[in-house]
Amino acid sequence: MSRQVHFYDQPERFVAGTVGQPGARAFYLQASSRGRITSVLLEKAQVAALAERIEEVLDEALRRSGGEAPIPAAAPVELLDTAPLDLPLEQEFRVGTMALAWDARELCLVVEAQAYVEESEDEDEIEVFDDENGPDLLRVRLSGAMARVFAKRALDLVAAGRKPCPFCNLPLDPEGHLCPRANGYRR
């Protein structure tokens, strides 16, 4: 089966979103443009890591350009997107590997999310993918402002989950929490 590359150059919308209640949420990246929607499933930790790294890459690109790059220092309020994910929500693939880079020539951030690939049972066998037969890929090119807006929404989304235990920092479940620091003892 040949590789599917879902490419969005300056999409109308690129967001992280969830479906479900805290503790049982599914996290998605969703890009949309001109009536076309691509949604990919990923883990909460991947969303957090992507948002944090986007902030770092944008800050570094701004620093290296001497403040000349068209990157706002913070997410522009007028561009903030709090709307739910677009429907229909059809998962294209589960994300395995992500990459991002600042394109200094085009002055945009490139985000790539590649489909998860099962590891081979034979440890000596290394799978090499070429462009035609590799895993599916979502590639999005974003302006500096849109990248800041994505990162802010993603970080807010991750923070909106279950509150952490003040002792062990693990998420508190509505049904109760056995804190490892209390050695299983409930007060």
Lowest mean pLDDT among 10-19, 68-77, 157-166: 157-166
What's the average model confidence in pLDDT over 58-79?
Answer: 91
What is the chain's mean pLDDT, rounded? Answer: 87
For range 1-26, the mean pLDDT: 90
Report how far Cα 73 is from the mean position of its chain's Cα atoms.
20
127-165 confidence digits (pLDDT tens): 555 567 789 999 999 999 999 999 999 999 998 877 778
